[in-house]
Structure formats: structure tokens, C-alpha cells
Structure 1
Amino acid sequence: MMKDSSKIFSGYKALGFVSNHVPLVLRYINRRKENLAITVIGKSFNTYSCGKLALLSTSSPHPEEIKCITADAYLVFTGCKNIIYSWQRGTELKHVYHGHEKDVHLLMPFGPHLLSVDEDSVLKVWEIKSETLFLELYFNNNTFQITTILHPNTYLNKILLGSEQGSMQLWNIRTCKLIYTFTGWNTPITALEQAPAIDVVGVGLGSGDIIIHNLKYDEVVMKFNQEWGPVTALSFRTDGQPIMASASSLGHIALWDLEQQQLQSQLRGAHQEAVTGMKYFPDEPLLITSSSDNSLKVWIFDLPDGSGRVLRHREGHRAPPTKIQFYGLLAENILSASHDSTLRSFSTIGDNLNKSLGQASFDRKLAKKKGVLHDQRKMPPILDFSAETFREKDWDNIVACHRNLAMVTTWSYGRCTMGQHKLLHKRFKGQKGVVALCVNMSSCGNFVFIGYNTGHVDKFNVQSGIHRESYGKVKAHDASVRGISTDGLNQIVITGGGDRFLKFWKFKGGDLLEEVSLEFGVCELKLHRESAMLAVACDDFTVLVVDIETRRIVRTFHEHFSRITSLAFSSDARWLIVASMDSSIKTWDLPSGTLIDCFLTPTVCTSLTLSQTGEYLATTLADNLGIYLWSNVTLYSHISLWPLPVDYEPQLLDLPSVLIEHNRTQQSSTSDDLHEGLEEDEFVEFKSPEQISKDLVTLSLLPQSRWQNLLNLDIIKERNKPKDPPKAPKAAPFFLPVIQGLEPKLTNLSKDETIKSKTFSWKARPLSPFGLIIQECMKNGNYVSVFLELKRMSPSAIDIEMRSLSPENGGSVELMIGFLRALEEEMKSNKDFELIQSYFGLFLKLHGSIVSSNSDMCKILCELSCEQEKAWQRLQLKLNQTLCLATYIKNAVL
């Protein structure tokens, strides 16, 4: 991806991805005391907390689609084409293993080793830490094509391999010997699972048979058969109940009682497509399943008959979306219609706020009774819809038209269900070939306008579903109506058709006010109600901007080279964003009429919408299940937008991942701190203060009493001064020498000693030990011992030593400069941050006048200020990142 592929938009995150055809992985983390589920979503994988199915992390994108995944207590392993990756904490790439010539399709951790099998049935054993190859085994696909792999419990250094031919082999990977070959059942082995009993495994076959097999005696203990096709997954309960679950390619799950050797219950329609992964929680009556229908479900078995019910689930669209629209003014929800005939709401805040409005059905009550999977009255996909929030609590506030249908359906966002009305004019009853192509709701939420391929335009009341009026004498247009818009005051209705006319109608009464002739037919309309600007996409790939007040074309944009697929205005109507079939998304500046931004997407953008806040651009792509959010960079930083040159070549913009995109170079430490301890049950490497101080600042950990009150020592001494003045001790006779102190003592003089004169000789006061340390450090250039000495002193001693640095107290200017140099060196090390500030403040308080009059010390002060500003900016950046992250997590309600 080029750095400047888009000036305005940057990848934020993707919505709607849960799982695909790769089986899930379940792992238990001792530190969290919780199970984590890992699902693959194309080029990345998600990690969910099974407690609430909250999304914890998303890996970085792989070069290609992930083919297989597994995990142990420390790492997650993924196979992408012929390369294997290992990930720590779900986001940090730890190891890469090269060596396979074909795509890897099976992975299994085996203690300190990793087993991998490619499509040529080449089995390799890797040393995980050293990334070296330990063992390599070759199998012939014609005689033994490996399809499954398992390590039986208590079988030291042994693995069990299942084949496409139906036979099994038990190998000792330490001695590289084949121990035993099981004849098998002449049908592909699709699943292998360890049973709670030793020496017993469950074998799922492509014929639908399930074999409980004893490896020690090579005997079939029991046999079952599911009538739904191949067994896609097996799992055994370990909470004391003798239950085995088997999954099928039709989305059903069977529960088998191993004691009675019979079918206990069924979960029909557990998923709408094949169940690809299934695991019982250790020692719990919970089962987690994943499917290629983009869903993840947790089942609990607490019903009297032993059957299960859905406890928690996460799901998205099963088919690519057809149209999206931001719902509301706060950019918190996105309405999305899909080819699977469902209407969903995706939250930009957190996945737990997503909700489904249901699947479109001709008979909603019958569909609810028989289930979505068995709904034979399912309606075609929604191609266009319109929603208003004004009457959300009163009646249905969403209307939608369907593929090849004249009937228009209503939906309720507040009740999350399909509405009670199906709007169809009586003239179309019994007619074939009539299709509703476009719909639009009035801003008041009371009326809906429907355009048909016959050229008719009808207005219905949303609350009652009653037809109110039609536009035109017979019909509004001579060709199909392809776009409808209404102004914000319910005064004008604008329609555009394939007959090359743009018509303006009176809202009430349906009188034609004016018509504008165009060179080509209308493809799509988009009205910005606040500014009265109407964008018109035409069949010749041009986009017109029409002022609906004056009914004049004010802007024309020709630089599109394929059919227009979607239009969107910015909230202030300064930008018009256009998506076309050539996979480009262009941003036009309306005041200047110039192209200011353009980028390419991997596939065609089928629909786009811009939030009312201008914060997000949401897009959907062809053959893609997700909704991609792009953040508007101009809201957060100053960017100069200039017209793009004529020869500008747009660049491909990488799609955002499921979690928020981070700047890897600046925020890698923040990302590691976020996920540290979330997933891994491993020893966290210790970081010393020296290591931490490279990116942050460290504190001294000294008690606050040692440094916090240095600036207030004079106040403290004044406050602690005794109320009565101290009494002078009784004086000794004048002829006796006395040693002064708290308790005066007489001096014992020898015969040879004489009493010296009491006259004091004014000689230079010697330097204190602290001053001598500063002098020594100035000679060798290492000031570490200065701060070591200060840390040992009490606050009063520090105050005395600071005062003694000045020339009038026995010090010198050189000593003061040396102390400032010591402060500078310690500040560069990013350690003892609070001590430096305290000592620096005391120094300036005591010697501010001397420092200000000395040019050398003023220069050092400037250097100190720069170092302090660098340290604070670095710390402020980390604090801002942490606050933003905490705010996001709080809003997401994980």
C-alpha cells in the first residue's frame, strides 16, 4: 500500500466478520481462568472470551487466506499456503516455519514440537523454539492421504493418522516407526476425537457413520449413524455425562448417549450452513460451535430432556451486503441489507451491540413457527431501503424493496423485527414483471415513496399502509423510475428515470412543478436535505449536482470510467463521494468542482455511506461479507487538500482489520500491553528500569517525605519552632574550658596543654563531602554518585548541602555548574523523574539570583528545559494513547 494512497480516509476497522470454514480452536488459559475461542476470518483470526463472547484481539493480516489453525498453552499456529506462523498473545508474530512445498492443511502442537501436514501428505515435525525440522515423513496420496491427525492420551510420542482411504496408522515420531495399521472402513475419515476413556477414540466418517474404536485391541466398541451426510466434527462431554456430539454438513448436531448407545437429542438447524468446528468446554455442560455461515454459538445443556439451547452467539451476514446506511445522527449503528435476505444493524462501538432485524418472509408467523432454515416463503434479497429515526417508537420506520418484487416491506428498528405491512398498489395485483426499484421515506417518517420499473410512483402511509396518491396523470415516467428523493420540509418530491428526465413534483397533490431534461438516463439519486443539493448519477458515468431550489445543474463531474454504484454527501455538503465499477472511490470538492482524493479497493465497492458526524466512511465490497469503516483523517489532523493532477494514478488501499488499526511503529508497545495477560499462560519477561526508561520515565520509589517537602522546609521549621525560647544552660566558671553541646562538658587538660585563645581565625571553610563528590564527578564526567549521595540524605541535610554550593556559603560557581550538569545527565537517563524536579526546584529557589546573572548557568538551564520538555512530551504521548484506549474499551462495553 502506498503511503499517500488516500489523503482523507484511513482504515479504522471492519465489522461483521465472525468465522469461516476453518474449524475453531478452544483453549483454556490458567491466568484468566477462562476458555478462549479462536476463529478464522480470512487472512486474520479473532480471539473471543467465551464468558461473553467478547472480542479480545485480532491478528495482523496474513499474505493469503488462512488454511488451518491450532494452538497450545503459549502460542497460536496458523497455516497460510506453504508457510506456518506462530503468534504470541494473538497479535505478535513469534516464529515462521518454511519447508513445505504444498499448502499446509493440518497442524497439531505436540509438546515442544509442532506437527504439520501438507496436501501431498508430507508430515513434518518442527522444533517450536528453534524453528528447525526434527522429522519428516512421506506418504503416498494414492494409498494413504492424510485427512486427520490426533495424539491419543497416554500414548507417549505417538500420533494417530486418519486417511482419505479410510485406514488409520499409529506412528512413534521419536523413533520414526510405524507401530500399527488399522484396516479402517473403506470410507474417508473426516474427524478424530479423543474419548474420555483411555485407548478409545471417536472416528467420524464421510458416510455419516460414527465409530467408537478401541486402539489397544483394534475393536469397534460401538457404532452410530447420522443421516445428514459426512461427519464434520466430534466432541465428548467431560463433566460426567456420557454424551458425544456429532456435527453434519447440513448444520445439524446430534447428541448420542454412550451408555444407552442411542440418540439422545438433536439440535436441528444449529447453523444455516455446515458446522465446521465443535468443542465441549472442559468439565462444563457447554458446547461451542462455528460454521461457514459466519456465526459462533455457545450452547448450554440445562433442559430437562438433556437437549441444548443457545446461550450466547455472534453472527454476521451469510452473503455479501447489498446496501448499507448509517442509522441515527451519532454514527453508532449501520443498517445493512444482504443477499441472504436479512436486515441487520452493526454497532461501530462494540460487537455486543449488534442485532438482527430478521429474515424477510412472505409469512412471518409461519417462519417463526418452523424456523428460518425451513422457511419456504422466504423473500428475495433487499436491494434498496430507506430509514428515518423520527417515528421509531411509534410505528415501522424502515421500508425496503426486494429483487424482482413489486411488493415493498416495512421493518421496525425499535422492535428488531419485520413490520406488519406489505405495500402494493391494487393496479399491480396479478401482474407479472412489475418490480419496485427504489424507495424513499419522508423526513417526518409518515410517508414512503416507491418507484417501479413501469414508470409509476406511489405514495403510501407507513403507519396504516394505505395508498395515498400517485404521481403523474397515468405514470410519472415513460421508463423505469431509478431514484426518488424528498426534501426536508415535505414540499418537493424529485424522481429520476431512464427516460432522461429529472422531475420535480409537489409533495401534496402530486402536481408536476418542473422537469429537467438530461442527455442520459438517471442511474441513482442522492439528496442532501440541509443544503438542497441533489447528486444525479447518469448512465454515461457522469455525476451531476443539481440545486433543487433553482432546478439548475451547478456541477458536472465527467472523470468516471465505469458505472456509478453509490453516492454519498458529507454532512456539510462540501464533499461528494462516488464509488464506481472500476473499484475506485473518488471524493469531489463541490465548491471548487475538483477531485481532491481517489483510492482503489481490492474489489468493487457496492455501497457506501458517510456518517452525519463526518467521522466515518462505511463501504461494502463485492463478494465480501464485511463492512469496512474508514476514519476521516481531516477531523484529527491538519491536512491540506489540493486538486489532484490530471495524470494522477490512484493506489490500492489496504482494507482495515476487525480491531482498530494501530500505527505499528509508534503504538506497538501499547498493543503489547493491551493483550499481555489476556491470552497466554506463560512467564512474562521482566523489564528493568533501564529497559523501561528507553520509552518512558521511571520514579525513584523513595518515600514522599524524602523529597516532596524540600521547597517548604523553611515553613515547616517555622511551624515546628517551640513556643518558649530554649533556656541557656548554667555557665561553668570562666577559668574552666567547656565543650559546647546539648550537655556541656568540661575539658580535661593535661599538664603540657595550654588554653588557646578564644579569638576565631577566619580561614576558608573546607568543602563538605557532598561538594568533594561533585568536584570528583566534574573531573571524570560521571555524575551517578551525586544522586546516590543525595538519596541517602535527609531533607534537612539536602537543604544544607544545597545552600553550601553558593560562593557566600563556602562553595563556588563551578560547584553550582557541576550540580546542574549532574541534573542534566540524570534527566537524560529518564530515571528518578520526581527527584530531579524536586532538587531542581530547590536549587532555583535558593540560588535563582546567582543563576540568572551567570551566562554559563543560563545556557545549562536552556539545555535542561529542552530535556525536560522531551521527557514530558514522550510521557504525554503514552498517556494520551492510554486514555484513548481506555475510552474505547469503556465505550465498547467488552
Structure 2
Amino acid sequence: MVQAEGKLLEGGLEEGELVALGQRTSLYAPFRVLGLVTCEGSGRMLGGTSSPKPCFYELGIAPFVVVPLGRCLQLYDGRTLRLLSLSNALPSRITAVAHLGRERLVVATQHSLHITEQLRSRVSIETAPGGCIVGLYAFGNGVFVAVDAGERCARTYNRDNELVSEVFFGEDITPNGLIVHPPTMLDVVCIGSDQGRIALVDICHSRILQTLDFSKHGAVTALSESPALDIIGMGFHDGSVIIYDIGRGSILDQYNLRMHLPLGTSLTVNALCFRNDDANAFPHLFSFHSDGSLCIYDLEARRVLDTIPRLHRGPCRMAFFYPREPILLTIGDEDNRMNMFICDSPSGAPRLLKYRAGHRAPPTRIRFIGEDYRQLISAGCSDQQLRVTSTVVSHHHRELSQVTTRLRRARKRARQMQHERAIEASDEFALDEDDPDTASLLPPVTEFAVSEARQNDPDLANLVTCHLGRSEAYTWRYAENHRYRHVLRFRGDASTDLDQGTATCVSISTCGHFAAVGLSVGHVDLFNLQSGLHRWRIRDAHHPGGVAGVAFDGSGGLLASLGSHDGRLGIYRHQSREKVADIVVHSPGLQLIWSPVSDLLAVSCADDFSIKVFEAASGRCVRWLRGHTARITDICFSCQADGRQILSTSLDGTLRTWDLVAGRCVDVLRMAAAPTSCAMSPRGDFIVTTHVGHIGICMWHCKAYYRGPSEQGNMVALSSRAGNGLDVEALWRRHAVQLPDLAMSWDPVVSAVADATASPENNPRCVSLTVEPIDDAHCGVVFSSQPESYWLLLPYLDEIKEQNKATRESDSVTGTQKPPPPLVAELHDGYREAADASVSPGIEDRRPLPDSIASSFVDALQRADFATAAKRLDALTPAAADVEIRLLPPEALADALSFFTWRLQSERDFELAQAQLRVFLNEHAELIMKEPALQHGASKCLRALDSSWLRCEDTLSKVLFLCQYLRDSV
């Protein structure tokens, strides 16, 4: 590796150029990330760093919530919880945010402050290099306070963004960003610390008025203002909650939850909020703890009113009541969830009104679904969720309910009976479907299969899942967002089938009626999705060991199964269970996929980390793709249009693109985090990936969809550079491409300009990584972009003229004939004026051009500029092109023959060149036969015509043979 780096640096490339070079070589560009609502990952994934507090503000009566995520800001509607806007990415991670007024925000990063308007940065303020801003508080008139934990100080800025005061704390106070402002104390803020002390700071006179010492309770973890004047709530690390009167300097009340929460519960208070809609009727205080539990305090009775466990999966970043409304909004820190509650019960307990959520653990499998293929279905192994994610609209994200329709109706009836008879519901229907900790949740999803064939049929499931430790497979209807009633379970003889094993893989047939399930004991079962009944079982299909993968072919007539230990690939007929082929893979298998447009099967191997491609008809291995250095996590074929590429992800941190025709890797995308799954959209415009430690779904643009293939960098073109000391594999392994950000976008036009700027012509030290255009002699026949009527009408203009001449003669008998309109609108102005002159009926329409008028087409022919001549001729209408060709002067015929020879040899605009050549020969064939000088050019044109037709005929024969083969195989 060190030698490879030395070769790269010896080639004259600097470190920055190498990074840009490694990113330009990829076929994919990072676009955006999906599924992030309130967090980027759990606290353990992000190294335990605390997340910045969101910001709430109102414009008139419309509430808005700003949630900082990484380097971006997300703006949500406070009523519908829909994502309204997304900010541009800031230079570094956001540490705090506050509302200045109207649509202006102040955003803090580690070493700078940014004033934003409508989420667009307007002003940037640099801070101390050694500091770290952890908290912000804005007074509403443009004045704000920034708390710096690194410098242990609080700075005040005026409305002109100028520093006006600075207060430094001692060694006994390390501010942690918690700030509140008592309304009755002007220019005074209360700042919490990690040592359990709260400082009252006068920002106008730059002094500390008082320090409240609560160090025996640990760090201050939550501060909140109450509707009563000079009253604040304090939360501490040990779970204590203190109600303090700042004006009098006394403790009004104190609570400790050790006796109210279950043993072993984390007591740290993360958020406090007072109910403010009716303080006299509901004097309640809500405290949220690090395990996600909620405690409600009755301040008038001085007691704990209620405790609700596991309201969030993990700590709560922020909780607040809407002004003068009984609506509570909570924002989770680790569960990627935002909940809205309404407190409309007599006891004041909240009930869930609406929520916005995403995966709370990294997803491990992802696939495309839907008619428009703008939706994704993803499964997380740790969070036990099955979610549908939209690539277009964020509020279409949803989780599939694990409660069937039958069970939901039964629970509804039980609630009605409980209400009517005032009795408790039976234990059978006592499960709360919104509670994630109930026994109704299925184990984590290990594999799933989805089909769009019968998605409009309400009697058929279109999604089947396998779960950890379960021998049965479960059916779903993803359009209806719930689990289907059928459970795919083999009901055999208990004496012979004591060990059912677990379901390891699943596949749905092309017709959508059948599902094949592979088991860990080596059996393969087939089920009917409409009735849920078991059809047949192949016993010991792979024994010893289990089934690693099952797949149906494109027609649904064949079923393939792969063994996880025996290294064999079996192909069976769907109806008769007859074994068609038994292929030896010579390696334990990990995954099996069957191309939807061909007869190829791809198998990922466990021992050598390679991919083997087999032909189902002959059973031979046609491609052996090697290059990964760690376990392959997922493989998939490219878009349904061609299926000529395979995408593979591996724990070595790379996503590789393999070309089946060339039989080698054409692109390597080294990522910052190891990918666990990948999928390409059927249109081929983008791919999606999931990664270790990331709960978001990353989208990557396919550059080949927006540009020509000649502009893509790949390993085929780079292999020619190996002799110059440029190790491409080492380049990709060394420089990882960063994962997409929330606000990251990719413009094909801008990227094309950037790539052109970095080309060798503009930078002599940069190595060109673009693929040269494919030689026309090695490609098929290329047709023109003209409409079909254009080249079909061109050879038959004589017949149309004869019909029009008969019509004009019949019209001339009845009355005076008007001057005919000009035949060609694109001819020279002199000819247009001559055509507009009055013409007697007896004069023939075909007239030679005046000698003073020269056609630009003829000029291009005489200069031997055939490309310009072709553009000029193709730009004309059929009638104009007919006149240009027929009125060629005799001295230009030799150049015209050379022009048509060149055009036929270029293998472009095949049908248009044939039509134009036919018009040329019909008009000038007699003169060519009489002139010996023209016969030599005509013979060369004939040879070019024969060669072009042979290539076209060969291409058509191959296509017809392939169509016949596919029809016979079906």
C-alpha cells in the first residue's frame, strides 16, 4: 500500500488532487439521505456526543419546529409535522440554534456563528479558535447570548451582530448550554453547568449576580421556565426535580423518582416543561428521563400524578407545550421519532395525536417497490421494523403495522364491550399495538421478498418476510400498511418433522401467486399466497446445511435454490418439482439472485468473497467476478432495461459495479462506512445503500443516466494507465467518498463543468479518467433522431407532386389560379423571391436555381466538410432536402458520392442516409452512368452500402434469435 502511494505521488499528483481524482472516478455521485427525522444515529454510534436542542417559534398563529441534524437544519410544520424546508450544509456540525425573530435564526457551530434567514446563511461570525459554543438564547429583538464551554464564558451580541459584552466563569463552572431567562429580571439569564451549579448572569454589566449550588444532585441536565413569574424548574443527573423561586431565592418543592420508577431505571432528567394552557386547572409539570419515561407532577397537591414508561426509546432531546394549548411535542434523541400528544383527559395524561418517525436502528436490507418505483421498503434487524420510505415526499414514510386486520377488529370489539359493560377486557385483547415492547412484535426481519404483480388484488399478499428464529414466514400488504392474515407454515407430521428449523430466505414468483421459503435444515417449501396453503416440499434439497437463497426465473416456471454449506445450486420446475439441473458452485453460498431479463443466476460466495454467474440452461459458470476482500453483504442486478451489470456491497467498505459483458469490475466506490445493502432503481437513475452505524438511507445519482457513457470514469479506461505507475485500486482504497448529507445535491450540468475544469487540457498535472468514445466500427447501427414520417416521406415526394399537379390543373379550369406558395422555406432569399412571383399555369414548377444563388449544402460538399453538410441536410424539411439533392450541379456529383460514402461508413443515421441516397440515385443515375469519372466514386459508395447493410442485417439476426429463444423458453 505504501508503494502504491509512492507511485501516485511520484506521478506528480498532490494530496488534494488525489482526493478529487478518487471521487471523479466513480460512476455515482452522492445525492441525499432519507429517513432522518430527529437524529443521525444512536448516541453510541455518534460517540456519545450530546445532540443540540431543537428550536420552536411562531409566526402569527402558525407554529414551526427547527431540528438541527449534523450540518443541516430541518424545518417542520408544528401542526402537521411535515417537513417544509431544508437548509444548506454549514461548514461544520451544528451545536446550538435559537430564534431571533420572524424567519431569522442564529446557528452555532463549533467555532462560528451563522445568522440565517429562511434557512439560508446570511452572516457569518467567527469566534475564538479554542472555544466550543454549546448554547444560544435569543431575546427576540436581535440580541442573543452565546455560551462557550471551551472558553468558559458567555458572550452577548447586539442586533448588528457585534460583540457587546463577555462574562467569564471560574474553574468551578463549566457551562453546558442550558439557558433560561426569567421575564421579570431584565438582562439576566440563568446558565446551567456540569458541576451542578446555576449562574445568574447580568449580560448588560458583564457580571455574575449569584451562583446557586446544587452540586449534590450532580450535573444540571434540564431547565425550564414556568407560567408563574420568577419560577423555574431544574432537572439533575440523579433524577431530582426542583422548583425554585429566583425572586425569593428559595426552593418551593423538590421531587425524587427513585420510589416511583422501576428498579434499574435511569433517572437522569433530560427535559422539563410546564403546562401553560390553564395553570389553575392543570398545574402540572412534565419531566422526561434518559430511558424515555415520563413523570407528571401535580404542583398544587405536591405529588407524582402519573408515570408513563418508555414514551421514547432513549432520552428526549426536547419537550415543550404549545403556547396556550394542551398540545405537547416531544423530540427523541436516539429513536429518530417526533411525537405530538394532546392532554384532553380529565386527569391531564397525554395521548398520542400524531408522530413522525424513521428507523431507530440501522436498516440491513432495502428494495424498491411500487408502480412508479419511487418507494423503498427497508428492514431493520435491531428495531424490528419494516418501513416504507418515499424518495420524493418525506411525509409518505410509514411503518407497516404488525397487527392484522382481524386482530385489529377484535380489539375494537373488545373496547366497545368494555365501554358498554364497564368491565376489563380479556387478556387476549389487552395488547396495545402502539407499544413497541409488547409481545405482539415479531422478531427482527432477516430477509424479505416483494412483488408488484398483484398489488391491486386485495386477496393476495405482495410481501413475505422471514424472521429471526421463526420457521414460518409472514405475509403483508404494503399498500395497506399492515400484516396480512396468512402465516406461511408447514403443517406436516409432528413425528417426522420435529425440527422445522428457521426460515432463512424467501422469493415470490413472477406471477405473484406463489412464495418459496428456504429453511435452515435444507428444505424448500412452496406456498400459495392467496390461500396461504402449503403446496409442496423438497426435502433435504441441501443437506447437510441450510438454504442460503431461493429465486424464481423471469417466467416463473423454474425455481433455483442455493445451499449454504454443500456448495450446490439446484434448479427445479415449479409445477412438477422435477430437478432440471444440479450445479456445483465449489463454495458455500451467501445469496442467490436471478436476472429478471436473462437466464443468468448470480451467487455470492463465502470463502473467496467472489461472485459467480451461471447460465441456467447449460449449468456452466460464465463469469467469475473477484475483487472483494471481505464478506459480501448484498448483490443485485442493474435496472430492468438491460440487466447487464451487477452491484455488490461488502464489509470491506466498497460498492463494486461489475459488467457482465466485459466480465470485470468497471467501478469501485469506497465509502466511509461499510455498506450492508444496495438496490438500483428500475429506471437506472439512482441507487440506494444502507450502512453500518447509519440509520439513514443514502441515495446516489447514477451519472450515466444524465450524461453520455463517454464521460464516465471506470477501471476499463484506467487499466491503460497502469503502465504509467497509476495504481487505480490503491487510489480507491485510499480515498473514501463521504456518504450523502441531508442537503447534499448533485447537478449533472455543474458536475460536467467541474469535470471539464479538472481535465488535462486545463490542468497539465491532472490525469484524465474519462473513457474515450467507443469506435463506431465496433458498435451497432445507429439510427437518426428524426421522426419516422421524415425518412418515409422523402423517397415518395414525386408521387405526391403528381397528385398535387392533377389537383392544380383541375383548379385552373374553374378560375384564375393564385400563385403557388414557395416549395421550400429554407432556401436562399433570392430563390424565395423568384418563387413568390406570379407564374402562369403552363410553366413547369421545377426550375433551376439562378447562377448567383449558391446552396450552403453544395459549398460544404465542395470543401469536403461532410459533417457540416450532413447537419445542413438533416435540418431541412423533406421537401427542402429533396430540392437540395435534385438541384445539385454536375460538378458537385463527385463530392456528393464521397459524402454518401462517408455517411454510410460512419454507421450513423442509417435510415436517413438510405432515404437520401435513394433520392440522389433516382435523379442523377443516368449522368453517373455516362461519366467514367463518377463511376469510381459510385463503386466505393456501393461497397459502403453493402457493408452497412450487412452490419444491420447481422444485428437484426441476433435480436430475432434472442427473441425466438426467449419465446421458446417461456
Q: TM-score, normalised by structure 1?
A: 0.69
Structure 2 residue 399 is matched with structure 1 residue 356: yes
1:233 is matched with which residue? 271
Distance 1:315 1:177 in 2: 44
Structure 2 residue 242 is matched with structure 1 residue 211: yes
Distance 2:185 2:274 in 1: 19
- Residue aligned with 2:612, SS: strand
2:344 is matched with which residue? 302
**1:15–1:628 contact (8 Å) kept in structure 2:** yes
Distance 1:48 1:170 in 2: 33
Matches within 5 A, 1:77-92: 77-92=106-121
**1:5–1:598 contact (8 Å) kept in structure 2:** no
CA apart distance, 1:326: 0.4
CA apart distance, 1:108: 2.5
Alignment counterpart, residue 39 of structure 1, candidates 46, 63, 67? 67
Alignment counterpart, residue 437 of structure 2, candidates 346, 350, 374? 374
**1:299–1:309 contact (8 Å) kept in structure 2:** yes
Instruction: Say if 1:260 and 1:501 are closer, same or farther in 2 by CA, change over 3 A.
Output: same
Give aligned pairs, total.
Answer: 664
Instruction: Say if 1:200 and 1:527 are closer, same or farther in 2 by CA, change over 3 A.
Output: same
2:454 is matched with which residue? 391
Q: Deviations over 1:88-116 (max 9, x none)?
A: 32232631433152544333235555433
Instruction: Say if 1:141 and 1:385 are closer, same or farther in 2 by CA, change over 3 A.
Output: farther
Distance 2:591 2:135 in 1: 48
Distance 2:559 2:403 in 1: 28
**2:147–2:175 contact (8 Å) kept in structure 1:** no
Instruction: Say if 1:202 and 1:428 are closer, same or farther in 2 by CA, change over 3 A.
Output: farther
2:555 is matched with which residue? 489
Alignment counterpart, residue 222 of structure 2, candidates 191, 195, 216? 191
Bigger mean CA offset, 413-422 vs 609-618? 413-422
2:629 is matched with which residue? 561
**1:124–1:134 contact (8 Å) kept in structure 2:** no
Distance 2:337 2:181 in 1: 29
Instruction: Say if 1:521 and 1:234 are closer, same or farther in 2 by CA, change over 3 A.
Output: same
Distance 2:83 2:636 in 1: 31
| Structure holding more helix per residue | 2
- Residue aligned with 2:278, SS: coil
One-letter code of the match for 2:153?
L
Alignment counterpart, residue 423 of structure 1, candidates 476, 482, 488? 488
CA apart distance, 1:9: 2.4
Q: Deviations over 1:591-648 (max 9, x none)?
A: 3334333222211110011122222311111110011122333333334256242332
**1:158–1:172 contact (8 Å) kept in structure 2:** yes
Alignment counterpart, residue 474 of structure 2, candidates 409, 427, 445? 409
**2:701–2:746 contact (8 Å) kept in structure 1:** no
Structure 2 residue 36 is matched with structure 1 residue 17: yes
Q: Deviations over 1:460-485 (max 9, x none)?
A: 2333333221225x433433221110
- Residue aligned with 1:271, SS: coil
Structure 2 residue 127 is matched with structure 1 residue 98: yes
CA apart distance, 1:370: 6.7
1:469 is matched with which residue? 536
CA apart distance, 1:278: 0.7
Instruction: Say if 1:22 and 1:97 are closer, same or farther in 2 by CA, change over 3 A.
Output: same
Alignment counterpart, residue 673 of structure 2, candidates 600, 603, 618? 603
Structure 2 residue 632 is matched with structure 1 residue 614: no
Q: Deviations over 1:292-345 (max 9, x none)?
A: 210112222334543333333210011000101101241121001002111010
Unaligned 5+ segments in structure 1 are 668-894
One-letter code of the match for 1:418?
R
Instruction: Say if 1:93 and 1:615 are closer, same or farther in 2 by CA, change over 3 A.
Output: same
**1:367–1:377 contact (8 Å) kept in structure 2:** no
CA apart distance, 1:130: 6.7
Structure 2 residue 567 is matched with structure 1 residue 500: yes
Q: Deviations over 1:841-892 (max 9, x none)?
A: xxxxxxxxxxxxxxxxxxxxxxxxxxxxxxxxxxxxxxxxxxxxxxxxxxxx
Structure 2 residue 505 is matched with structure 1 residue 438: yes
**1:251–1:273 contact (8 Å) kept in structure 2:** yes
Structure 2 residue 355 is matched with structure 1 residue 282: no
One-letter code of the match for 1:505?
Y
Instruction: Say if 1:121 and 1:254 are closer, same or farther in 2 by CA, change over 3 A.
Output: farther
**1:22–1:39 contact (8 Å) kept in structure 2:** no
**1:505–1:512 contact (8 Å) kept in structure 2:** yes
1:346 is matched with which residue? 389
- Residue aligned with 1:283, SS: coil
**1:2–1:653 contact (8 Å) kept in structure 2:** no
Distance 1:108 1:548 in 2: 67
One-letter code of the match for 1:549?
A
Alignment counterpart, residue 83 of structure 2, candidates 55, 60, 70? 55
Q: Deviations over 1:380-405 (max 9, x none)?
A: 31121001133332133211112343
Structure 2 residue 378 is matched with structure 1 residue 336: yes
Structure 2 residue 700 is matched with structure 1 residue 630: yes
Instruction: Say if 1:199 and 1:187 are closer, same or farther in 2 by CA, change over 3 A.
Output: same
Alignment counterpart, residue 369 of structure 2, candidates 290, 312, 327? 327
**1:214–1:221 contact (8 Å) kept in structure 2:** yes
- Residue aligned with 2:704, SS: helix
Distance 1:662 1:542 in 2: 32
One-letter code of the match for 1:299?
F
Q: Deviations over 1:811-850 (max 9, x none)?
A: xxxxxxxxxxxxxxxxxxxxxxxxxxxxxxxxxxxxxxxx
**1:17–1:294 contact (8 Å) kept in structure 2:** yes
Instruction: Say if 1:206 and 1:562 are closer, same or farther in 2 by CA, change over 3 A.
Output: closer
Instruction: Say if 1:142 and 1:424 are closer, same or farther in 2 by CA, change over 3 A.
Output: farther
- Residue aligned with 1:2, SS: helix
One-letter code of the match for 2:654?
S
**1:409–1:422 contact (8 Å) kept in structure 2:** yes
Alignment counterpart, residue 525 of structure 1, candidates 586, 589, 592? 592
Instruction: Say if 1:495 and 1:223 are closer, same or farther in 2 by CA, change over 3 A.
Output: same
Distance 2:186 2:749 in 1: 44
CA apart distance, 1:273: 2.3
Matches within 5 A, 1:79-158: 79-92=108-121, 94-99=123-128, 101=130, 103-110=132-139, 112-120=142-150, 122-127=152-157, 133-140=163-170, 142=172, 146=176, 148-158=178-188
1:548 is matched with which residue? 616
Q: Deviations over 1:775-821 (max 9, x none)?
A: xxxxxxxxxxxxxxxxxxxxxxxxxxxxxxxxxxxxxxxxxxxxxxx
Instruction: Say if 1:273 and 1:608 are closer, same or farther in 2 by CA, change over 3 A.
Output: same
**1:398–1:413 contact (8 Å) kept in structure 2:** yes
One-letter code of the match for 2:739?
L
Instruction: Say if 1:238 and 1:558 are closer, same or farther in 2 by CA, change over 3 A.
Output: same
Distance 1:666 1:238 in 2: 51
Matches within 5 A, 1:447-462: 447-462=514-529
**1:478–1:499 contact (8 Å) kept in structure 2:** yes
1:512 is matched with which residue? 579
2:882 is matched with which residue? none
Distance 2:738 2:541 in 1: 46
Instruction: Say if 1:471 and 1:419 are closer, same or farther in 2 by CA, change over 3 A.
Output: same
One-letter code of the match for 1:60?
N
Instruction: Say if 1:624 and 1:144 are closer, same or farther in 2 by CA, change over 3 A.
Output: closer
Instruction: Say if 1:503 and 1:64 are closer, same or farther in 2 by CA, change over 3 A.
Output: farther
Distance 1:55 1:301 in 2: 24
One-letter code of the match for 2:341?
W
Distance 2:227 2:478 in 1: 47
**1:68–1:104 contact (8 Å) kept in structure 2:** yes
Instruction: Say if 1:553 and 1:128 are closer, same or farther in 2 by CA, change over 3 A.
Output: farther
Identity %: 27
Matches within 5 A, 1:585-596: 585-596=655-666
2:651 is matched with which residue? 581
